[in-house]
Amino acid sequence: MTSAIDRGRGLLATMTAIVICSGVVQGYLTPLLPAVGDHVGIGGVGQNNLYLLSQLAFAVLTPLLSRWGDLWGHRLLLRIAVALVAAGSLLIAVRPTTATLALGMVLQGAVVGFFPLLAGILRSRAPEHGRTGMSVLVGALLLSIGTGGLVAGSLSEEHALAGLWTAVPFGALALVAAFALPAGSAPRAGRFNAPAALLLTLGLGALTLLLTEGGSWGWASASSLLTAVVAVALLALWVRVEHRSDHPLVDLALLRDPRLTIVSAHTFCAAFGTIGFLGANAVFLGAEPDGDGYGMGLGSRAISLVSLAMVVAGFCGSTASPRLARHVGDRATMVLTGGLAALGFLSLTLFHQSLPQYLPGALLVGVATGMFEAVTRTLSAEVVEETETALSVGINELALSLGAAIGAAVISALFAAHPGHDGGVSGAGYQWSWAACAAVALGGALLGLLLGGGPDPAVRTAGPAPSKEAA
């Protein structure tokens, strides 16, 4: 079975099944948590704590799974990650309680390892499909995030807990696909640096805690300042340990590569708004114009349809990005990606009085989301040696997560600075937030101008000439 999917479409189809599971897992719980929380007795604070646990798992597992994959084999770690996600999804569905939801969401955090580990396998087994393959996988991810939420919400209209089963069959399918995949390149020599892993885990945990809770604590409060000091101290100590180690957890020399640094910085800027604003976008669409003075007054299903339209636009942007990069180059593609995101957020800032006004800007943001996720994941895999592929893509994934978290934190602070009626947010808070997202996206476009010209993609992947299938 494995030999039949070693290369080409069979390999990409098998990987797509795994990525679809990742998208469903990332999209299906968000619309369900309020109803599920009421059913099992978890209030707003408890639901926020579950979200915090999930974000902590994302931050911690991203570098760990990537590094373990480069050390012990991408396929082995991918199978373990998929098994963790499948187990977490089943646990949540079978017995939803506060404890099982918390444990299940932490286990589901292993989805952050899917892309780095898949990138390692794809680069070693079918390098000629690298760019096209990555764009297809990103497109599948975006579509499955949108459809996962829509399916789960529809199932839960009949019974509050029915939607919790949404991810279970996809987890089972992904597990079968993971065991069907061929092995990637041989594991590299080295050993796991446990002290560095502990320091990085604690440092990223403290940083994630600050970003998610700083708004409610108050950014100038003693709790926020103390957490910030702890995060900086732990991460500084981690850097020192890595520099002195013969077997670093993360080879910091990678960050001296200007191409990887620029790509990761562009990822941060793009994720700041396109992902950081997703939650606030849903709130705006559901707000009542008569009561709140802004919004579209849409119900849950209509909001899901708008979100689905945005991810369809993202799919189009993702699948178009390889051809665009061939015609205009990586630098111009990154500039265009940031420019489209900035234009979309600027449109939202100026035109948001009705849904026909709102949609063009939202769809532009969707297109930019697909483009940046495909382009940056591709480039982060190509700018390093094959043995560092998973770790390099993992660094880019971490930049994406931090960009989204900091974007959400800044938006939360801008909302707090512009209060509306009954403790809500005023329309000016949304306008300032969209403007901030536009400015940061424009910064990402300018970073794209700094991207140096590397070798031809065919040379970087060191594979055979692209087949008709890849074209």
Quote the CA–CA distance of 159 and 379 in Å, as a whole number. 44
Write the DSSP symbol of residue 251. -
Question: What is the pLDDT, as a whole number, of residue 445?
Answer: 94
Quote the CA–CA distance of 60 and 19 in Å, as a whole number. 20
User: Mean pLDDT across the stretch 290-294?
Assistant: 77
Highest mean pLDDT among 137-146, 204-213, 263-272, 449-458: 263-272
Question: What is the pLDDT, as a whole number, of residue 380?
Answer: 85
Highest mean pLDDT among 34-38, 206-210, 333-337: 333-337
Quote the CA–CA distance of 144 and 18 in Å, as a whole number. 11
Calculate the CA 171 to chain-centre distance: 18
CB 130 within 8 A of CB 381: yes
CB environment 276-306: b (16+ within 10 A), e (fewer): bbbebbbebbbbeeeebebbbebebeebbeb
Quote the CA–CA distance of 247 and 228 in Å, as a whole number. 28
Of the listed ranges 84-93, 251-260, 357-366, 394-403, the least confidently predicted one is: 251-260
Q: Which two tokens stand for residue 356?
A: 């026909």
Extract long-range pairs of 196-200: CB within 8 Å, 24+ residues apart.
196/238, 196/241, 196/242, 196/245, 196/248, 196/249, 196/250, 197/64, 197/67, 197/249, 199/234, 199/235, 199/237, 199/238, 199/241, 200/63, 200/235, 200/238, 200/249, 200/250
Q: Which two tokens stand for residue 104?
A: 């299940």
Quote the CA–CA distance of 305 and 428 in Å, as a whole number. 26
Q: How confident is the model at residue 78 (pLDDT cuts 50, 70, 90)?
A: very high
Q: Which residue has the higher pLDDT, 304 or 116?
A: 116
Question: What is the pLDDT, as a whole number, of residue 343?
Answer: 96
The total of other beta-carbon atoms located within 10 Å of residue 84's CB is 21
CA angle 103, 26, 53 (to 5 degrees): 35
CB 6 within 8 A of CB 120: no
Q: How confident is the model at residue 455 (pLDDT cuts 50, 70, 90)?
A: very low
pLDDT at 454 over 70: no
* Percentage of the chain modeled with pLDDT above 90: 29
User: Mean pLDDT across the stretch 233-252?
Assistant: 82
The three-class DSSP label of residue 425 is: strand
Of the listed ranges 84-93, 94-103, 116-125, 296-305, the least confidently predicted one is: 296-305
User: Mean pLDDT across the stretch 165-189?
Assistant: 84
Q: Which residue has the higher pLDDT, 342 or 48?
A: 342
Q: Which residue, 51, 62, 36, is CA-closest to 117?
A: 62
Report the chain's mean pLDDT, rounded to a whole number. Answer: 82
Q: Which residue has the higher pLDDT, 420 or 2?
A: 420
Q: Which residue has the higher pLDDT, 458 or 338?
A: 338
Question: What is the pLDDT, as a whole number, of residue 7?
Answer: 56
pLDDT tens digits along 106-143: 999 999 889 888 888 887 777 766 677 788 888 888 88
Highest mean pLDDT among 43-57, 183-197, 202-216: 202-216
Question: What is the pLDDT, as a whole number, of residue 469?
Answer: 28
Of the listed ranges 171-180, 404-413, 438-447, 458-467, the least confidently predicted one is: 458-467
Q: Which residue has the higher pLDDT, 4 or 137?
A: 137
Q: Which residue has the higher pLDDT, 471 or 420?
A: 420
Q: How confident is the model at residue 468 (pLDDT cuts 50, 70, 90)?
A: very low
pLDDT at 2 over 50: no
pLDDT at 395 over 90: no
Write the DSSP symbol of residue 188. P
Q: Which two tokens stand for residue 7?
A: 């290369």
Residues 6+ positions from 471 with CB-CB distance below 8 Å? none
Q: Which two tokens stand for residue 448?
A: 């794209």
User: Mean pLDDT across the stretch 244-248?
Assistant: 77
Q: Which residue has the higher pLDDT, 470 or 434?
A: 434
Question: What is the pLDDT, as a whole number, of residue 26?
Answer: 87
User: Mean pLDDT across the stretch 384-401?
Assistant: 79
Extract long-range pairs of 226-229: CB within 8 Å, 24+ residues apart.
none
Highest mean pLDDT among 243-257, 350-364, 390-404: 350-364
Question: What is the pLDDT, as a whole number, of residue 245?
Answer: 79
Report phi then psi at 425, rounded to 5. -115, 140
Give residue for tokens 């009085």. Answer: 353
pLDDT at 202 over 70: yes
